[in-house]
Amino acid sequence: MKPGDKGIKRILKASVYSYEGFKEVFKTEAAFRQELLLCAILFIAALFMPITVIEKLFLISSLFIILLMELANTAIEAVVDRISDEKHDLSKKAKDTGSLMVLVAFVYAAIVWGAIIWINFI
């Protein structure tokens, strides 16, 4: 186990690192900014829909999954790019898989949103 800060100091440092990560991704990743805007709009829409709390949680959690997968994809791309900028089959596989994670998250969100809208409004 590596030595380091403990307790509240560790939590505070981790919060700073998370904030720095958010700033960097927001500044450099257009896809994240676009998805964040879409998710913010849909989040607000979900809050005002006349549906159950559980349904709202499903809608909102599907949006968070999109953002989580985009962050994972960005991290994968950063690591691959850090290792080498030369083309390699494994680099392509890693990047394409990261992109697929985002697509699967969007499909899941579309299914959740479609089902809840269908059940409640159609």
Which active-site residues does the annotation give? 70
In 3-state terms, the chain is what percent helix, strand and coil (to 5)? 85, 0, 15
89-113 burial, b if ≥16 CB within 10 A, otherwise e? eebeebeeebbebbeebbeebeebb
Contact 94, 76 (CB under 8 A): yes
Would you say the C-alpha torsion 74, 76, 77, 81 has a positive or negative sign? positive
* CA-closest candidate to residue 107, choices 71, 75, 69, 76: 69
